[in-house]
Structure 1
Amino acid sequence: MAEADNETTAKGEEPLLSVRHLRKSYGDHEVLKDVSFDVRRGQVLVLLGPSGSGKSTLIRCLNGLETIQGGEIRFKGEVVPNNSEKAWRRLRTEIGMVFQSYDLFPNLTVAKNIELGPTKVQKRPKAEVDEQMDRLLADVQLSEYKNAYPRELSGGQKQRIAIVRALAMNPELMLFDEVTASLDPEMVREVLELMLRLAKRHMTMIVVTHEMEFARRVADTVMFLENGVILERQSGSDFFTNPETDRARNFLDSMSPVGDE
């Protein structure tokens, strides 16, 4: 594990995100226990593990949506003051996050949902934001829905719009928390293909997913968690072909299609 922690340092490249000895508790229940890792620019880190292992809690800590009880989060070389909402409000313009529940404003059109953050939070000119929005919508093949309301979109379309909304803030890091979990199976593919394109464009990403084939294709690094502890950290190719722990092997077996040998 220590070797993996120092991967970016060994390459002479400061991590975009560095987490050290992170602890998170709900009352007496410790959900994350001494979690440490780095994410370098352009890397895709996939978090895997059984339900309740701490994956979603961890990714929410990395956007200031959960308070922490100990440890350090460092972004672009600067320590984020522990549980400082003021600091996190600023950083959320650089760390985008997409949830499984879309979280689009139902009373706003697609365009207004996308414009809101860049124009109100970043104070960017509307004309500049609209030009970028048109490019992004064209990229996800949803230009015709610019003036539609969320209720008029399918689940997959809503999720792609949620991703576009996050990208319109020009984040340096994107966090994805089970973004396909609430989608019908036929809608999952279009969202995963968009995320694959982002990875090929070297977008720095941390992804929580149960889509194993997608994880295999997209992951530079896999972190396998259980009970709030990192049990295993490997390159994506090594994890899926030769997991180090029995627990990870059993997890991968349990996620294989029925009848797969």
Structure 2
Amino acid sequence: MADATTTDATTTPNTGNRTTDTPLLSVQHLRKSYGDHEVLTDVSFDVPQGKVVVLLGPSGSGKSTLIRCLNGLETIQSGSIVFDGTNIGQASEKQWRSLRSTIGMVFQSYDLFPNLTVADNIRLGPVKVQKRAKDEVEQQMDTLLKDVQLSDYKNAYPRELSGGQKQRIAIVRALAMNPKLMLFDEVTASLDPEMVREVLELMLRLAKRHMTMIVVTHELEFAKRVADTVLFLENGVILERGSAKDFFTNPKTDRARRFLDSMSPVSAE
């Protein structure tokens, strides 16, 4: 974990246009359809500054679609997405390009540029998009790479990295933009089991530093540790919401109980 002098780029509260008692992100009555098929139905939730919301649910429940709506990768039919005091639900593509510098997103597929070194992948957004000084970006990059124990791979190409290393670099690349909100969409789904832990430990460190995060995951033990709030979705509807403790020890709906049972280890009997 980085020391206190190196974490302000990812943890310093910035309330922007908000008052301090309003959430960083507020989603209200969001609906998303593909043609006649409605995949998200009247979804509403808030994400306070510095908190972690975990989205759980079976495959096809709308989790990934929802998180993509929050980064402008999917358009919505109705509802509002208020981020840092501004309604961005109907933002233009040009506006989203600017917003994505403050809403970081990491996918399961890494999406690193294969023809660029690790350093060039990380530098690209801060220097080209945010127009920040190269020296400042270089210093932050070195700090972040040290934090994830990948300083020795600064000049390596993605093909020279393991899956877990690629995913940590993808997270570093997003953090180098100094986002106010981080979105994670099943970032360990394509990793070998022994590589999952190093990525989840990094995300846990971010949570301890009060990075505001929304996380889609099937890693239930990780969800128990990281979540301030769990939203359980099925068929595009939030069936249940509550603290991690309440959801995992006393789910309120039969569907959530069946989901948790289905994710339990297979009995030897």
Same-fold call, TM cutoff 0.5: yes
- Aligned residue in 2 for 1:91: 99
Q: CA deviation at 1:118?
A: 0.1
- Aligned residue in 2 for 1:46: 54
Matched ranges for 1:20-59 at <5 A: 20-59=28-67
Matched ranges for 1:67-82 at <5 A: 67-80=75-88, 82=90
Contact 1:43 1:220 in 2 (8 A): yes
Contact 2:123 2:138 in 1 (8 A): yes
Contact 1:156 1:190 in 2 (8 A): yes
1:15 aligns to 2:8 (yes or no) = no
Contact 2:62 2:233 in 1 (8 A): yes
Moved >4 Å (runs of 4+): none
Aligned to 1:133, which of 141, 144, 148?
A: 141
- Aligned residue in 1 for 2:162: 154
Q: Deviations over 1:206-230 (max 9, x none)?
A: 0000000000110000000000000
- Quote the Cα distance in structure 1 between the aligned partners of 2:230 and 2:94: 31
Q: CA deviation at 1:17?
A: 0.3
Q: CA deviation at 1:116?
A: 0.1
- Aligned residue in 2 for 1:109: 117
Contact 2:25 2:82 in 1 (8 A): yes
Q: CA deviation at 1:53?
A: 0.1
Q: Deviations over 1:48-88 (max 9, x none)?
A: 00000000000000000001111111011111151411221
Whichever residue aligns with residue 189 of structure 2, its letter is A
Q: Which runs of 5+ in 2 are unaligned?
A: 1-18
Task: State the secondary structure of the residue aligned to 1:106.
Answer: coil
Q: Deviations over 1:30-65 (max 9, x none)?
A: 000010010000110000000000000000000000
Q: CA deviation at 1:141?
A: 0.1
Whichever residue aligns with residue 98 of structure 1, its letter is V
Q: CA deviation at 1:89?
A: 1.1
Q: CA deviation at 1:12?
A: 7.1
Indicate the percent of aligned positions where both proteins have the same amino acid: 82
- Aligned residue in 1 for 2:8: none
Q: Which runs of 5+ in 1 are unaligned?
A: 1-10
Contact 1:155 1:183 in 2 (8 A): yes
- Aligned residue in 2 for 1:192: 200
1:260/1:50 CA distance change after superposition, 3 Å: farther
Contact 2:107 2:185 in 1 (8 A): yes
Q: Deviations over 1:148-198 (max 9, x none)?
A: 000000000000000000000000000000000000000000000000000
1:179 aligns to 2:193 (yes or no) = no
Q: Deviations over 1:91-123 (max 9, x none)?
A: 101000000000000000000000000000000
Whichever residue aligns with residue 181 of structure 1, its letter is A
- Quote the Cα distance in structure 2 between the aligned partners of 1:76 and 1:56: 22
- State the superposition RMSD in angstroms: 1.3
Contact 1:68 1:83 in 2 (8 A): no
- Aligned residue in 2 for 1:209: 217
- Quote the Cα distance in structure 1 between the aligned partners of 2:50 and 2:266: 34
Q: Deviations over 1:226-249 (max 9, x none)?
A: 000000000111100100100000
- Aligned residue in 2 for 1:7: none
- Aligned residue in 2 for 1:60: 68
Whichever residue aligns with residue 101 of structure 1, its letter is S
TM-score, with structure 2 as normaliser: 0.92
